[in-house]
Structure 1
């Protein structure tokens, strides 16, 4: 508000200049007084310097707070993105999110810095200016007011059309950002398959669409600006002719006509800039809409609270998970109950209504301290089931308990201290090798890092140029697949979690390294409750029992040898894997 007030004062100060000109023409110039002319010149110079100084002060006043607003909004967006469920990130392209965090917030800051202020300032300037014009010569003032109605209509039509184009080009820019990001992250695939030309063609096609939309937007802006400039110019020309006639008839002084025309010319920029300001305002409005599209998405906590409320209202029963009933009817707690899946069902939010659930009727108990291997054909739902334990997804029905406590009643921070995960596709960050491992446990010490590297057979870290302080690069692409997987495994075990969920953590290891990791991993699994997705018989042998997942359901549970004897599907699955490994 202070900056807008300063700018309004500076702009209105420019309206004083025509009044000084009127005094000069009707006074010192008409009376041939050189001293008065010099005084008038000094006044004009002083007003110009003051106006420029006030605009400089306005710029200084808005710079710091607007930079703070932009930084705060960007931090809020990033924080919100971290809290959104995985299902949201599955639906949204990363480039769209990146463009919202960069380009859109930049447009919003520019709007707050310039168009918002000057829509107010120019409005005040036009009102004060026309008040001065009408006071000087109301008939000429009415002539200048004639274009007001067609200008209002034109601006209304322009805003409607421009808003659609502005939104389109911002969405296309997000798509373009996605293509660039994927091209950079997948550069090895692009080069490995010689697809750089096809990628370049796809990029050119998308940039062509962005260019076409931008040209359409520029055409709309050029049209409205031409009309906004033409109508006031015609009105000023008409006022000049009418004023000249009045001066010739002696009804108007020359100084008044000079002052009137000078005031009218001063008002040209506030009026003619209307198209430019409206365009920037529409860009900012669509950017704000895109920003709040993400911010209005419910976080994982909010989604869970809504789901729990709905389930309680329909079921009408308590879901206190940490208590069970003994034979004599009294309630008792089960602090070492392990990991349970009870009546679990899951379907993805964007799945068709008639599509079968990915998981249905899952009832599985992994006893405390036990290691359960989860096996099944590709697409049977193994990875989806493991993702439900750390609440990367939320069950559609049923529940999961840890030592008798429903995971939906646990704060997420506590849940993720209890449960550690390692995925088949390891994700590393642009940080040091040690920092990537220590992300697995808050407050982990150097000794924990060394122990975790030993368990994961990731001692190669010590041979890196700066040891554990070596930067592994974006996505850890400076390391081999097996090295990345071992670092991810070390990250999972560094905090000595109560529960461990491993999604085929050894798939990228050679046979020798796999044997060493399994030997060290047995010590970890002996002190934790673990669910391990297994694709190799050697990994299955790490487990106390095996659960066979088939078609989204638990088809059989038992030891490896029991299932080999009792389950034809399990025998077929294991023999198929062994034949593949033999090749």
Structure 2
């Protein structure tokens, strides 16, 4: 895994180690490619005098040598580019994979605060930019730098006085490139932030278009969108303007240097201090220098933009992570489902307590309903059972085993969640139920029967191979919820967690889902979060949470006779003792 570092692209170097052999071969090709320039420069020094001597055979011989050297150089360039592309792209793949893996372990509280559009942009566009910069660095920037060093060294050997006059301008050029590069990186970060905000708004807009139309709020949304894209345009234009300004400024300095060299060379030839052959090689060297300088300048700007992208990717690594698995851990196997909560206290990062001294014992196979007003701590209790969060004090036991001593993956294989809002990934219904777990077709169908989903699935044109569209929009809400129940019971969990599983359904769909729930609950410990109290009256135990505390617990009839908080909630919903029930 990647570790946090402020070293920029150097942090990616360890990812190149598995590819040292391929990199070494690519480096050999690179050295041949760069070395060919020196041979061509030397050849140019012989060719121009030969042209003046009218020695055709000598000219043809030198041209033949030049063609041969050029052919070798291009073969070396092909080898360099093809050999170095693989490791660079592999590093990009590893970087993206590691970051996505890390994203899956971010604390849910921190994850919920992140924009889906922003994260999508970072793991696609930002990761691609880092990949492009890394590829250019190894196959373009590095050979360009080597070419600059080699050609300047050759020019120093040819005529150190002329070369010294060029090098006097080098610090100014380097300073200007660095100055522009820093400004480009800052402008790029602003631009990327605006793109992320735009991506977040797009995600919200697409998700909420029906609501926007219902409120006739299209002009408001259009105005907000146009404001966002205008801010992005301005930020992007700033980056382009800086890059556009850099080229003429640096180019002007290069031209001044070139004409200064020509003037100095003319004076030295007139004083017989420099030969025509030497000048030919030297001027060829100057021409050869122009291309790598342009490449290094352009690539440095892209490198700075890549640094901005890498910095944004690194922010994912700084997000708080789920608690790591204990070592050693306690294997839980197939538990009976007996849950105990002993003096459990929990608060989120803001320090405000959410659960206070929760003491609760749930026998294996019991159906327990958690009721209470919003914010009472019901969903937080589920997150502690699934170990999405860890209690600050107290213990949660499953068959006597402390959940903090159990591997999270093993624990979650024994606890299944049916959420209020069903989330499915695009793919077949069979894939949605399996959800990455190995299961035979018979196991799949048995889970669907338990969830009262088999009949409607078989009634679809392709049965279990029917493709679900994004968010499952091609099936009804009740059908989607029964698929979620089948997904939950496929692994035969010991504990089933139901979070308002029927609250968003109409009466007919709810009735079909309730059949599936009753079948799925058989032989398991079940915890139900419910706001509609008519759905939980037959629960073995009803636990009333109020402001993070258990205010009362018992059966429906017991709690109705106690004149407590539960009775007050029931009367608000016009529920009396022994009313008809759904579960």
**TM-score interval, normalised by the smaller of the two chains:** 0.7 to 0.9
Selected match of 1:21 from 44, 50, 53: 44
Confirm whether residue 456 of structure 1 aligns to residue 451 of structure 2.
Answer: yes
CA distance in 2, matches of 1:139, 1:235: 13
Confirm whether residue 418 of structure 1 aligns to residue 441 of structure 2.
Answer: no
Q: Is the 8 A contact 2:345 2:391 kept in 1?
A: yes
Per-residue deviation, residues 272-327 of structure 1 (Å, max 9, x unmatched): 3332121111122222222233235454243x76xx99xxxxxxxxx9999xxxxx
Distance change (3 Å), C-alpha of 1:467 and 1:140? same
CA distance in 2, matches of 1:337, 1:447: 25
Counterpart residue number, 1:347: 347
Distance change (3 Å), C-alpha of 1:135 and 1:438? closer
Shift of 1:402: 1.0
CA distance in 1, matches of 2:467, 2:212: 24
Per-residue deviation, residues 164-222 of structure 1 (Å, max 9, x unmatched): 22222223222222223333344443444444443333232222222211211122222
Counterpart residue number, 2:115: 93
Shift of 1:524: 4.1
CA distance in 1, matches of 2:312, 2:474: 35
Q: Give the TM-score normalised by structure 2.
A: 0.87
CA distance in 1, matches of 2:142, 2:521: 67
Confirm whether residue 213 of structure 1 aligns to residue 235 of structure 2.
Answer: yes
Distance change (3 Å), C-alpha of 1:435 and 1:272? closer
SS in 2 for 1:267: helix
Confirm whether residue 534 of structure 1 aligns to residue 530 of structure 2.
Answer: yes
Q: Is the 8 A contact 2:447 2:489 kept in 1?
A: yes
Shift of 1:266: 0.9
Q: Give the TM-score normalised by structure 1.
A: 0.87
Q: Unaligned 5+ residue runs, structure 1?
A: 310-318, 323-334
Aligned residues: 552
Q: Is the 8 A contact 1:15 1:266 kept in 2?
A: no
Per-residue deviation, residues 369-413 of structure 1 (Å, max 9, x unmatched): 211111111222222222221122222332221111111111122
SS in 2 for 1:139: helix
Counterpart residue number, 2:178: 156
Per-residue deviation, residues 19-57 of structure 1 (Å, max 9, x unmatched): 22221223x233221221222222333333333332222
CA distance in 2, matches of 1:144, 1:125: 16
Counterpart residue number, 1:492: 488
What CA RMSD, in Å, does the superposition of the two structures yield over aligned residues? 2.8
Q: Is the 8 A contact 2:485 2:516 kept in 1?
A: no
Q: Is the 8 A contact 2:478 2:513 kept in 1?
A: no
Once the two structures are superposed, the pairs formed by residues 173-572 of structure 1 within 5 Å of their partners are 173-297=195-319, 299-302=321-324, 338-349=338-349, 351=350, 353=351, 356-439=352-435, 442-458=437-453, 459-515=455-511, 517-519=513-515, 521-572=517-568
Q: Is the 8 A contact 1:228 1:272 kept in 2?
A: no
Counterpart residue number, 2:150: 128
Counterpart residue number, 1:329: none
Confirm whether residue 171 of structure 1 aligns to residue 167 of structure 2.
Answer: no
SS in 2 for 1:420: strand
SS in 2 for 1:300: coil
Counterpart residue number, 1:146: 168
CA distance in 2, matches of 1:135, 1:443: 69
Q: Is the 8 A contact 1:321 1:404 kept in 2?
A: no
Q: Is the 8 A contact 1:453 1:490 kept in 2?
A: yes
Shift of 1:506: 1.7
CA distance in 1, matches of 2:91, 2:320: 23
Shift of 1:516: 5.1
Once the two structures are superposed, the pairs formed by residues 6-17 of structure 1 within 5 Å of their partners are 6-17=29-40
Distance change (3 Å), C-alpha of 1:191 and 1:15? farther
Q: Is the 8 A contact 2:371 2:542 kept in 1?
A: yes
Q: Is the 8 A contact 1:342 1:364 kept in 2?
A: yes
Per-residue deviation, residues 45-76 of structure 1 (Å, max 9, x unmatched): 33333333322222211233333222232222
SS in 2 for 1:43: helix
Q: Decide which moves more: 362-371 or 203-212.
A: 203-212
Q: Is the 8 A contact 2:559 2:566 kept in 1?
A: yes
SS in 1 for 2:246: helix
Per-residue deviation, residues 71-130 of structure 1 (Å, max 9, x unmatched): 232222222222333123112112222222211221122122213443332222222212
Q: Is the 8 A contact 1:429 1:475 kept in 2?
A: yes
Q: Is the 8 A contact 2:340 2:396 kept in 1?
A: yes
Q: Decide which moves more: 7-16 or 364-373.
A: 7-16
Per-residue deviation, residues 511-556 of structure 1 (Å, max 9, x unmatched): 3554454455445434111111122333212311101111111110
Selected match of 1:578 from 574, 578, 582: 574
Distance change (3 Å), C-alpha of 1:538 and 1:20? same
Per-residue deviation, residues 110-153 of structure 1 (Å, max 9, x unmatched): 12221344333222222221222222222211111110121232
Per-residue deviation, residues 335-369 of structure 1 (Å, max 9, x unmatched): 857112222222222x2x4xx32222221111222
Q: Is the 8 A contact 1:21 1:259 kept in 2?
A: yes
CA distance in 2, matches of 1:483, 1:188: 21
Q: Is the 8 A contact 1:498 1:529 kept in 2?
A: yes
Counterpart residue number, 2:12: none
CA distance in 2, matches of 1:52, 1:199: 54
